[in-house]
Chain A
Amino acid sequence: MRTTVPSGMTRRHFLTHLAGASTLVAPALMLGSTLRVHAHDLQRRGKSAILLWMGGGPSTIDLWDLKPGAPTGGPFRPISTSGDVQICEHLPLLAQQMHHFAVIRSMSTREADHERGRYYMHTGYVPNPNIEHPSYGAVLAHELAPQRQDLEIPPFVTVGGSSVGPGFLGMAWAPFAVSSDGQVRDLSSGLGEDRLYQRMIALDAIENQFIAQQRGTVATDHQKVLKKTLALMTSAQMTAFQVNQEPEPVRQQYGNNDFGRSCLMARRLVEQGVPFVEVDFGGWDNHQNIFPTLKDQRLPTLDRAMSALVVDLEQRGLLADTAIIWMGEFGRTPRINGDAGRDHWARAWSVVLGGAGIRGGIAVGQTNEDGTRALGDTYAAEDLLATVCRALGISLETTFTSRDGRPMKIANSGKVIDAVLA
């Protein structure tokens, strides 16, 4: 009978394990420590991206594109920053780091529903019942992972949220979701390595038999995920998730809250070589009482964590290779509604980009006096994705084949926002 050897194991390895010997346990563990030694070198190679996802649709007119004096302006004042751009007075720490960030003020999209907007901004495609498009994370992980042959943990990690799935790229590129405390449930088998591998070999045999019966790709995807799971269980790189190993002052810097810890984890993961990390920070769907909510809750947390992240990346020499993308599914209505809130508004809003050679300290595009319309050239999800791809050195000619055989160009043929690429 033939069985396929789990990835990373030699045939001899397999046979020895099957015979119940334990002599190869020591070398296997040593492999882990070798990687730890070299982790510092590994981190220098290859590009990464961190998406700060503001679930609910942040009110960018109150953060990045203020309209003081306009009837839609709200109570917040703009302040000057370290760049040639003004932002909200309640983001004082970020104001000192704006030389790293470009604000795109002329985003204009059509999806003002949460689900649709979430999908569109994550994929660059509007939802289509006949096809599932891969999210940014899956696409960039797919493109950048080959630079990271030594990466044992998933190339697409989402912290504190769920992101959008891998679509036609397959479950092997699905986001690995962890909570901000970095605890990964059920990580340990509690078995000796021998016995674990023997179980895996038996499992592999049953899986292969089922796959050979040609029942569909779901069966094959299941096996791919199993192999990634096994790699993860035995990897020393999992320490990257343990935010509590950071010195106390560093943790303070990011803020003692879920978003702060998540941003810190993002830095640790990027340092370990993970090409794409998404950090989820929800609570921006402020239909009511928006201003106190922003001033007292959302903005202080955002300000501290996002500024700490960019400073930390820079100090570690990672910023030049790491793109930071700040966005939500849409902006919010310039008009303040009857409940002192703002509703969904996709026609004119802002996103923020930084790192990976993005030109900081600037604003690109503008909106009209009351913030209801974007003026001049406008940008959409696919343009952002194209710009990030270019910044990360990924060719925009890259083409995928969807499962129905249709060629799909990376970033949906978006146009690069040249102004932010220095």
Chain B
Amino acid sequence: MRSGVIRTALGWVVALVAILPGGREGMGQPLRPGRAKDYGLPPVALINQQIRQGWVEQGLRPSDLAPDGEWCRRLFIDVLGRIPTVEELRRFTASRDGDKRRKLVDELLGAGSYQEEFARHWAAVWTNVLIGRTGGSEPNSLTDRAGLEQYLRDALANHLPYDRLVYDLVTAQGTTRPGTDGFHGAVNFLVMKVNDDKGAQAAAATSRVFLGLQVQCAQCHNHPFNEWKQRKFWEFNAFFRQTRAVRREDGGDGPGFAELIDEDFSGEGSTPQEAEIYYELRNGQLEVAYPVFVDGTAISRSGRLQDVRRREQLGRLIVNSPLLERTLVNRLWAHFLGHGFTRPVDDMGPHNAPCHPQLLDDLAAAFRQNSCNLRDLMRWITLSQPYALSSRSNSTNATRDDPTRGETPKFSRFYLRQLDAEVLYESLFVARTQRPPASSPEHAEARQRWLRQFAVAFGNDEGGEATTFNGTIPQSLTMFNGELVRDALAIQPGTILHTAVHNDWKPLDRIHYVFEAGLARPATRDEINLAGQLLAAREGDASEAFQDLWWAVLNSNEFILNH
């Protein structure tokens, strides 16, 4: 009886393979690189030209262009933080419009239906940059993570230029929690960093995130590897000394919230008009410092708010500094291409030379001239040739352009990288429901709960942290057996497997459907064969066989790697 079922099922597979067409156009086959398109955008031409020059100098041939499906998948991942639905994918791959890539980029960055998703994704990305993955979940935290995300979401939805956004984050006063009097979500960047250690963390994070300068070592001693001296650190730190975080009670049993305020600073000496601070040299000798920006610009030494508001001065100096756009361009380039022009991206001091200095300068200048418009910078990068390349290597770039081997990146192919835990969460939601992620607070809360399991804090005062969602066994266990993937296998109205199993499609179309949902391509011959074998093993139970197949798709390297 059993063997009969198996034979029937295998026969079904053989028949399928026999009628299988050679793959759908556009989705599976690599495309030969034609002339690099620049879409009439000078910055795109600039990227293409300068990156290509590097290839020529190194004797590298770029990889082929990624097929439409792969490119579409990576664009959704990088711009919206999730994979596309089958419908979104097919709409794009089926289009014969020669300008369709540009149109998709415009659509995802535009004011239409994706606007809210875009703002939500980038708010989450920036929140991780600004307060880390564990920010807000420390015991007795003053930080309201949701408050910061709300501020960022609104700012991004309203197309706030990057310089204005940075100014807010550096200078904001107000309360941390949405709904309280005087709420200003931007204060959540600094609220946990100003009280302890004389505000050393505020200085370290602000210079690292916005100026690409790693200065934390210089707190205690002259930095051994870059030009940061202890004096410069404390001069920078002096800008934060009028600022304090104050805990406010909300009347309930909760931990309350906080308010970030500026107040007169009388200095550590005796004259508020000369509000100096002191720091200790290694030999115990005390030195004095006043607020001086990294380029040497000094401001009034007074600590009185009526004379000078130090953070506002700092905000102005930062947004006018050329380091602002260089740091941002480097950060976004790394976001989209997998590696920045420097490594790490937020350490751009003179000791750490960028791999494409001219391109970095030119792109930074273009970004500044374009009013620090974040979406335009994203448009330029995603429409560029390096972003369009396949992740498959060729004989010239397999080993010679592989940053995991310590080579400086040449961007002659798209570098594999794992989806962030946040992106994975949303992608599994999309894979399961074939709908964009919900915008409800419940969805955000559930996501945050799920993410928290992966965060590990180091035992130091600087809030160092790591994630165990990093390609190791705990992550695989989560993917194999965790609730999220279990949910994704559910067969009930509204789930992908329900659609795949309960419809009147041909068997082949059902199999292609789940591969397009997970991997943005149709199934290969081998995979169709495999589906048949699973069906045989499940004795013809299509529901169970599709669960097994879908489980394998979701657990694959091809799913979890942005490629």
A residues adjacent to B (C-beta < 8 A): 1, 3, 17-20, 54-57, 110, 112-116, 118, 129-131, 154, 161-162, 165, 168, 171, 174-177, 184-190, 194-195, 198-199, 202-203, 205-207, 209-211, 213-219, 221-223, 225-226, 228-229, 232-233, 280-285, 287, 335, 337-338, 343-344, 402-406
Contact = CB atoms under 8 A, between A and B. Distances in A.
Contact of B473 (A189, A211, A229): A229
B499 to A, nearest CB: 20
B310 interface: no
A162 B563 CA distance: 27
A280 B468 CA distance: 15
A156 to B, nearest CB: 10
A116 B6 CA distance: 59
Contacts of B280: 335, 337-338
Contact of B481 (A171, A188, A217, A282): A188
B393 A187 contact: no
Given A205-B530, A209-B524, A110 B224 contact: yes
A114 B476 CA distance: 29
Contact of B460 (A55, A165, A174, A194): A55
Interface in B469-506: 470-478, 480-482
Contacts of B416: 215-216, 218-219
A222 B552 contact: no
A129 B481 contact: no
A336 to B, nearest CB: 10
A177 B197 contact: no
B402 A55 contact: no
A225 B472 contact: yes
A219 B417 CA distance: 9
Contacts of B449: none
Nearest to A329: B460
B461 A203 contact: no
Interface residues of B, number: 76
Contact of B461 (A56, A198, A207): A56
A217 B557 CA distance: 11
A215 B533 contact: no
Contacts of B459: 54-56, 161, 280-285
B474 A176 contact: yes
B371 interface: no
A210 B558 contact: yes
Contact of B464 (A114, A195, A202, A226): A114
Contacts of B415: 216
Contacts of A229: 473, 476-477, 480
B365 interface: no
Contacts of A210: 556-558
B379 interface: no
A187 B527 CA distance: 28
B134 to A, nearest CB: 12
A362 to B, nearest CB: 29
B473 A287 contact: no
A51 to B, nearest CB: 14
B509 interface: no
Q: Which 9 A-B pairs have the closest CB atoms?
A: A282-B459, A55-B459, A403-B405, A202-B552, A229-B476, A222-B557, A404-B406, A203-B552, A186-B481
A56 B460 contact: yes
Interface in B213-228: 216-217, 220-221, 224
Interface of B: 2, 6, 197, 216-217, 220-221, 224, 280, 284, 342-344, 347, 352, 391-393, 398, 402, 404-408, 415-418, 453, 456-462, 464, 466, 468, 470-478, 480-482, 524-527, 529-530, 533-534, 536-539, 548-549, 551-553, 555-558, 560-561, 563
A130 to B, nearest CB: 4
Contacts of A176: 472-474
A174 B402 contact: no
A115 B216 CA distance: 10
A189 B481 contact: yes
Contacts of A217: 402, 404
B417 A162 contact: no
A277 to B, nearest CB: 15
A134 to B, nearest CB: 13
Given A199-B551, A199-B552, A130 B481 contact: no
A185 B475 CA distance: 10
Contacts of A154: 473
A280 B456 CA distance: 11
A205 B526 contact: yes
18 contacts: A1-B529, A17-B537, A18-B537, A20-B536, A118-B464, A175-B472, A177-B468, A199-B552, A202-B552, A207-B558, A210-B557, A216-B416, A218-B417, A219-B557, A222-B471, A229-B473, A229-B480, A283-B459
Contacts of A165: 470
Contacts of A185: 453, 474, 477-478, 482
A218 B561 contact: yes
B530 A1 contact: yes
B472 A198 contact: no
Given A188-B481, A216-B393, A404-B406, A209 B471 contact: no
